[in-house]
Amino acid sequence: MVSRASRRHFLKEKEVKKLLADVSKRFKVEVEKLFGPKLSIEIAEAQTTKIFIVNDEPLLAESGDELFPTLLFEKLFPSLPKVVVDMGAVSRVCNGADVMAPGVVRIEGEFDEKDLLLITDERHGKPLAIGVALFGSHVVKPLQHGKIVKTIHHVGDKLWSVLKDI
């Protein structure tokens, strides 16, 4: 997925407007509240992933057509629905495993299939991963088995390593 950020450049005003519209639509938030009125957006390209550096912080990434927040985008976390996993699932999620129903302690917030989710641990509430819902929250809550969230970015993955270098 990612090895090192090879090229960096600032986005043009037209590209910034498109990105902000995408962020607003995808995350269902007002971008001015997240980023403030003054914006500087730089893009770092690393193989198949683009990292968007907003006001000197690597907050967003795009792989393929999937735009998602990085685990450093803490201001967005209150806006995202959460899947809280038990401590037995933590090591698996931190190694890139998808979230399985038996490891889920609770769901916070409502979501639809393909919505982005924040995956946290039950003890400390620490962010472990960003995932995509495989089902809506109304379907997931009663499930006792099976995969419910596809993990797309987790603590310790290659993207995480590149983010720490930026």
pLDDT digits (tens, 9 = 90+) for 108-132: 999 999 999 999 999 999 999 999 9
Domain boundaries, the chain: 7-74, 77-159
- Mean pLDDT throughout 134-161? 94
pLDDT in tens, 82-107: 999 999 999 999 999 999 999 999 99
* Residue 83, number of CB atoms within 10 A of its CB: 28
Q: Which CATH class is domain 77-159?
A: mainly beta
Name the pTM for this structure.
Answer: 0.91
| Per CATH, domain 7-74 is 3.10.450.120 | yes
Whether 7-74 shares its CATH topology with 77-159 is answered: no
Half-sphere exposure of 138 (CA within 13 A, CB side): 1
Question: 127: exposed, middle or buried (C-beta count within 10 Å: 0-12, 13-18, 19+)?
Answer: buried
Question: At 30, is the secondary structure helix, strand, or coil?
Answer: coil
Query: Model confidence at 34, in pLDDT bands (50, 70, 90)?
Result: confident
Which of 50, 51, 52 shows the shortest CA–CA distance to 39?
52
Residue 77 contacts residue 95 (beta carbons within 8 Å):
no
